[in-house]
Amino acid sequence: MKKITFLFVVILMAFVGETYAQGVVTGTVFDGESNAPLPGANVVQLRTSNGSSTDFDGKFSLKVDSPTGTINISYVGFGSKNIEYDVTNGDQDLGTITLNLDNSLEEIIIVGTGVIDLADDRKTPIAVSTIRANEIQEKAVGNVELPEIIKSTPSVFVSNQTGFGDGALFVRGFDDTNTAILLNGQPINSQEDGRVFWSNWAGLSDIANAVQVQRGLGSSKLAISSVGGTVNIVMKAADRKKGGFARFLGGNDSYAKGTLAYDTGMNDKGWAFSVLVDYWQAHRKWAEGTFGQGQTYFFAAGYKPNEEHTFNFLVTGAPQKHGQRWSQSDEIIAANPRYNQHWGFTEDFNPTAGSNGQYTSNIETERGNYYHKPVANLNWDWTISDKSELSSVLYASWGRGGSIGPRGARTLRTDDPDGDDGPLRGQVDFRAIEERNAGITGGIGDNEAREGYVRRNSVNNHQWYGLISNFNTELTEKISWNVGVDFRLYRGDHFRQITDFHGLQGWANDRADGGLITETFDSDPWSALFNFADEDQRVEYDYSENINYQGAFSQIEYAGDKFSAFFQGAVSNQSFKREERFFNDEESDLLNKIGYNLKGGFGYTIEDTHTLYLNAGYYSRQPFLDNVFQSIRTSNDFVQPEVDNEDITGVELGYRFKMNALQINFNAYYTNWDNRVILSSGRVDLNPVQTPDDPDDDTNTNIFDRGVNQIHMGAEAEFVYNAASWMDLKGYISGGSWRFNGEISKEEYNDDTNELISSEAGLDLNGVKVDTAPQFTAGLGTKVNVIEGLSVDANINYYAQHYLDDPDSRGLQTKNVGKIKPFSLTDVGLTYNFKFDTSKLVFRANVYNVFDEVRQQSTDDFGTLFTNGVTFNGSLSYKF
């Protein structure tokens, strides 16, 4: 009996011991790439079914049933981690746990943390959406450009065009000239006109760790063109972990791409190196004649000598060449939506081929683009103390290349594919053009007489150097302050050169000095780095501009448990100077413009679930160089009266709800953009009676619309729901009212002589809708983990309320003439991971525009833009 009693007591004590040994393990899981909380991560006690998941702040709480043990933390696309715990003496907080991407970009050395303005670095909320590296790697591959991955975002519209790299991005109705694009914190919008040419950045999808879309005022402290918003692209750095991958990708229209990447990992002396190279080509991007070919290269070297300093140097580039087509009329789209009249075949004779030699055909374009833009930057992060750090980036880029176009006599074409009465025209007949050129006496073409046909390159070479440095310190436990500088030096050289004589021996009467052109230069992105025309071999125009920028910025922020507030400001000086070499070999005066911005806001969080915030800002933004001079191609004269700064006022109100696996964001915004000057080009017939001495009686003109006021207001809502460990849902809806306000004046000048052709005042724009993008968008997406290693995803996006402008208006539209028919686009994808001991094989398939919806997308001065039909790609990656 005593033994039984003793055994009962032992069992009871063991049971009580185990009961009291139970405890709660907590922690916060972060994405190692974007340094942001990772919601929906799975947290499981090993060898049990006991589990939980992180909320939208990355936090978890798991009640464990043993005093010691191990929990596993995992998330799809990230490497999992096992963490030991011990609750013998009470609950345990494991602190911050970082998961790194389970692909080629994992465990990067994070550099430039004080320069790259991610929204998570500022406690006061903004309207923001973030796309992480695993989604970029899955969806922005091959024949899909990087902007495509952010199209499922409120108030964002991506016009994909029909040539490789020719897409356009719009945020809240503002195009990319008024949406700041930052690469590792450095601006990449053109210093001349704010444009972003995505063909120059074709390799970013391979080396991007995250893309963050900050709509509206954003969190950037720089004085940048973020009228619509800011897109921050974070590149990878030298990888700490040893490994690499090889990938092959194929798609429709003979698209093929191969990629190799390798990371040495960090050695015991603190060095790490990463390299990536790829090659791609396709005979078209859905539309005829839009062939493309290019490469990507990336090299990074990281050095961490101690805990205080981190250095990273990288150089990357994406040389490419692709064929283009202009917008098409509705009649052409109805007849053949793939049609393009700007291409044909050239024939090269190889006398050594076969018994008598033979001709080989090569596809060529009359309208195309070739460019090579190497970019290098050096980051230095210095941890001065526990409370202070200094981050700096020194960067440079050298752009070389331009666009291809015809010059001289009219283009000869093959027979119309739909007959003489149809809307289609034949493709370029380069053989017939060479036969016509062969009949010209002496083989010298004449531009003034329009005798002979050549193709020319519009060259746009530039050098851009910059420095951004930011010092950040914690003044108190709740107050942080930073201050920094932003310097940019830019020089652009613009001229035209001949790329193909098509049988001619020279080209005359296309220079102010009457000189004869006898040299040609390849439309090749690699040779363009060093081989371009000397001044005596340039045609039509030849000028340069220098744009120098000096700025300073600062921000102070209070972040308490519930309440946060910030105030930031920036001031800058921007100078413009133009050098004319073609007509008078003179320099313009130096024009300086002072600009500034002020932003402030606050946020308040209730019960860690509800957050309210209000942000407001004012920009005094310097005009673009293209609006400063009377004629950007021919004149050193400044526009009179002088163009003033643009005035931009923005206010946004937001609400964020977070609970467990559900997050809902709502934003309302108001943007008033005043005192704009819009420059556009046109053509007028100044001599309605055509004579033999005046065969081309259309005159190029520059049109200045002054005093333009735009008001953009609207609301956005989005949600993300981790419905289960195997399924995620997300959706959004946004609606806006984007319109012009007030009256404007209009001036039109002869581009050759700068003489005023016409002038109008008091043109009423009240109520005219902005026609850049659809004013209503909505979308829904899901990702489902079917079985271990297999997932499928799908997204649908809907667009409506896209207004059309008056096709007869010159310059800015003065009325609307209808709307584009609403349309939707559906994409689906599938991923399968084959895991091995130390490596992984990943298969990915995408189908874009599954239902082959070819719809009118927008319009411009040349005609109608429309969506591509169904496109697809598939990739196989081996990661080791």
Three-class SS of 239-294: ECCCEEEEEEEEECCCEEEEEEEEECCCCCCCEEEEEEEEEEEECCCCCCCCCEEE
Confidence at 861, pLDDT banded by 50, 70, 90:
low
- Token output for 717: 């809502």
Q: Rounded to an integer, what distance in angstroms lies between the CA atom of residue 48 and that of residue 69?
A: 11
User: Per-residue pLDDT averaged across 756-779, rounded?
Assistant: 91
Please give the Cα distance from 137 to 846 (Å, whole number): 12
Q: For 588-632, how does the pLDDT look when each residue is reduced to its tens digit (9 = 90+)?
A: 999 999 999 999 999 999 988 899 999 999 999 999 988 888 887
Give percent above pLDDT 70 in the chain. 90
Range name among 345-349, 371-375, 773-777 with the lowest pLDDT average: 345-349
CA distance 490 to 465: 7
Q: What's the confidence (pLDDT) of residue 750?
A: 83
Q: Sign (positive/negative) of CA torsion 264, 265, 268, 272?
A: positive
Please tell me the total number of residues recorded for the chain in this structure: 880
**Euclidean distance between CA atoms 849 and 846, whole angstroms:** 10
Cβ(743)–Cβ(781) below 8 Å: no
Going by pLDDT thresholds of 50, 70 and 90, the confidence category of residue 348 is: low
Cβ contact 471:543 at 8 Å: no
Closest CA relative to residue 134, chosen from 105, 173, 99: 105
Return the closest-CA partner of residue 544 out of 455, 459, 644. 459
Q: Which residue has the tokens 């130096």?
A: 590
Q: What was the pLDDT predicted at 491?
A: 97
User: Residue 105: pLDDT above 60?
Assistant: no
Band of the pLDDT at 13, cuts 50, 70, 90?
A: very low
pLDDT digits (tens, 9 = 90+) for 368-390: 999 999 999 999 999 999 999 99
For residue 126, give the amino acid letter.
I
Within 8 A by CB and 6+ apart from 514, the residues are 508
Between 119 and 474, residue with greater pLDDT? 474
User: pLDDT tens, 507-519?
Assistant: 999 998 999 999 9
Most trustworthy range by pLDDT among 161-170, 278-287, 319-328, 530-539:
530-539
What's the confidence (pLDDT) of residue 30? Answer: 84
Strand ranges for 513-645 from DSSP E: 539-559, 563-580, 586-587, 591-606, 610-621
Out of 191-195, 394-398, 458-462, 824-828, least confident range:
191-195
Q: Looking at the domain that runs over 2-99, which CATH code has it been given?
A: 2.60.40.10
User: Domain 243-879: which topology?
Assistant: Maltoporin; Chain A (2.40.170)
pLDDT above 60 for 19: no
Exposed e or buried b for every residue in 382-397, given b needs 16+ CB within 10 A? eeeeeeebbbbbbbbb
pLDDT at 556: 95
pLDDT of residue 2: 47
Q: What is the pLDDT of residues 686-708, one digit of tens each?
A: 665 554 444 455 677 888 889 99
Q: Which residue has the higher pLDDT, 462 or 607?
A: 462
In this prediction, residues 133-148 reach a mean pLDDT of 77
Answer whether 758's CB lies under 8 Å from 810's CB.
Answer: no
> Given CA atoms 719, 723, 724, 728 in this order, what sign does their dihedral have?
negative
Rounded CA-CA distance 501/409 in Å is: 12
Radius of gyration of the chain (CA): 30
687 compared with 343, residue with greater pLDDT:
343
**Alpha carbon distance 394, 314 (integer Å):** 11
Supply the mean pLDDT for the chain: 86
* pLDDT-wise least confident of 464-473, 667-676, 678-687: 678-687
Q: How confident is the model at residue 3 (pLDDT cuts 50, 70, 90)?
A: very low
Residue 4: what are its φ and ψ, rounded to 5°?
-65, -45
DSSP run (H or E) holding 687 = none
Pick 21 or 333 by higher pLDDT. Answer: 333
* pLDDT for residue 385: 94
> Around Cβ 840, how many Cβ atoms within 10 Å?
17
Domain boundaries defined on the chain = 2-99, 243-879
- What gap in Å lies between CA 458 and CA 630, rounded to an integer? 20
Please state whether 562 falls in left (phi above 0), alpha (psi between -120 and 50) or beta: alpha
> Does 675 have pLDDT greater than 80?
yes
The pLDDT assigned to 294 comes to 95
Q: Tens of pLDDT along 791-817? A: 999 999 999 999 987 766 777 777 888
Lowest mean pLDDT among 281-285, 459-463, 527-531: 281-285
Question: Is the distance from CB of 110 to CB of 34 less than 8 angstroms?
Answer: no
**pLDDT confidence tier of residue 16, bands split at 50, 70 and 90:** very low
d(CA 417, CA 568): 60
pLDDT-wise least confident of 115-129, 189-203, 328-342, 758-772: 115-129
Distance of alpha carbon 758 from alpha carbon 648, whole angstroms: 29
| 69-88 mean pLDDT | 82
- Which tens digit of pLDDT belongs to each residue from 645-668? 999 999 999 999 988 788 899 999
CA–CA dist 212, 231 (Å, integer):
6
Average pLDDT over residues 316-339: 88
